[in-house]
Amino acid sequence: MSKFKKKKSGDLPAISTASLPDIVFMLLFFFMVATVMREDELQIENTLPQANQVEKLASKDKLVYIYIGKPSPNFQKTYGTTEVVQLGDKISRVEDVETFVNTKRNDMDEDDKDEMMVSLKVDRDAQVGILTDVKQELRDAYALKINYTATEGDPLRNIRK
C-alpha cells in the first residue's frame, strides 16, 4: 500500500466568502449616495411645453413647485377631467396656493426666504384661466419670482407642419 494518496483532479478549492459583507455594504453605500428621491409624486398629466431659450437654474433648493394639468386616468373619477392644481403630493384647490406658498416660505431659512422662487410646471394643453387664477394667488402671497418650466426644443414645430 502506498503511503501517499493521489489527489483527485476534480475537486475545486472552497470559495472564500469573508469579503462578501464588505462588497454588499459598498454596493449599498453607493446606491444610497447615487439615488435621487423624487420630491413629488405626480397625480396629473404634465407634458411640458417646448422652448428654444431654456436656461438651467443654479440651485433648486429655493424652488417651490406647483403643477397644473388634467388629473391622470386613475384620479379622473375623483377630480374629473378639467385642469387641477397639484401642490406637493396632493391635488388642491386654487385657493390653497397662497397657504401652500406661505407654509413653504416659513419652512425655509431666513436667508433663503427672499430668494424663494415658484416654479410653475404647466401642461402644454392646459387652459389659461386656471394659470391666471394661480398667478393671482401667488401675487396675494407676495411670491413674485415665478419660473415657468419647459423642455428644450422648437416651440413652433407643430405649428409649421
> What are the domain boundaries of the chain?
61-152
Look at residue 129 and tell me whether its pLDDT is greater than 70: yes
Does an H or E element contain 154, and which?
Answer: none
- Summary mean pLDDT of the chain: 86
Q: What's the CATH code, domain 61-152?
A: 3.30.420.270
Question: Residues 124, 128, 130, 132: is their CA dihedral positive or negative?
Answer: positive
The whole-angstrom separation of Cα 134 and Cα 145 is 13
* Burial 81-97, CB ≥16 within 10 A → b, else e: eebbbbbbeebeebeeb
What is the mean pLDDT of the segment spanning 91-114?
90
Does an H or E element contain 67, and which?
Answer: strand 63-69
What is the mean pLDDT of the segment spanning 91-101?
93
Give the pLDDT score at 26.
93
134 falls in which pLDDT band (50, 70, 90)?
Answer: very high
The whole-angstrom separation of Cα 92 and Cα 134 is 11
Look at residue 159 and tell me whether its pLDDT is greater than 80: no
pTM: 0.73
Look at residue 7 and tell me whether its pLDDT is greater than 70: no
The whole-angstrom separation of Cα 153 and Cα 52 is 5
What is the mean pLDDT of the segment spanning 103-108?
91
